[in-house]
Amino acid sequence: MNKYLDLSPEVSEALAAGKPVVALESTIISHGMPYPQNVETALMVEKTIRDNGAVPATIAVIGGRLKAGLTPAEIEYLGKKGRAVTKASRRDLPVLVARGEDGATTVTTTMIIANLAGIKVFATGGIGGVHRGAETTMDISADLEELAMTPVMVICAGAKSILDLGLTLEYLETKGVPVIGYGTDELPAFYTRKSGFKVDYRIDTPEELAAAFRAKLENAAIDQAIAECSEKGIKGKDTTPFLLARIKDITGGDSLDSNIQLVLNNARLAARTAALL
């Protein structure tokens, strides 16, 4: 899908320079609020991202192109068009691209496009979940499947209380998705702080949150490299050099930086221990 992807100059330059970029969805613009509050809110969210040291990348499908980073004019366009814009989930992307149509991205499609662009953090309002009565209707949001598949951190206010929050947490547990409460032990319910349901882990600082997600990405990179090694039939003494090189490529050099730092850290500890001996 990368050949259908357009990055705004600002987002492209930020990613190339290793600057922090935060993805933002566009259904909040077209379907979440009336005009002009939808446009005003979208621009305020972008300003908030900038004020806190990152580059915003509002994501949408416009004219069949997957967009990561919208201009104010494009945000205005989506805001005015409103519900006439297709609310685009995973199943809709191929058709919208083929037809050259517009789509407002949900949590699912924002994650997909963000991942294609190389953006790892996404801020939104709330995620979809398991609907009440889903044990008979099978009405489960595609957001939950995407959270299990796509390596993008989603910062949200939980799922709306109109959903079955207990089953939503059970579904995420089955899919291996960690649910982390930032500064809380309890799952937020979008409109309310409390839901009565406990999260998997509580984290209280951005540093710890970043460290946890970095560990997840590094483990995913190792799994991908091992799978490629097996597919290529690489064995014996060639295995370790191949895996290290691929992990370095997959992580954009982060694994090499980690390797250097752990060696330096071990050297410091060894020197201090030797001095005490």
Residues involved in catalysis: 25, 160
- Please tell me the distance from the alpha carbon of residue 141 to that of residue 168, in angstroms, as a whole number: 9
56, 50 contact by CB (below 8 A): yes
Contacts of 70 (CB under 8 A, 6+ apart): 8, 26, 58, 59, 60, 62, 78
- From CA 93, how far away is CA 4, in angstroms rounded? 11
Peptide bond into 36 cis (omega under 30): yes
Among candidate residues 145, 223, 203, the one with its CA nearest the CA of residue 177: 145
Burial of 88 (0-12, 13-18, 19+ CB in 10 A): buried
CA–CA distance, 81 with 102 (Å, rounded to integer): 10
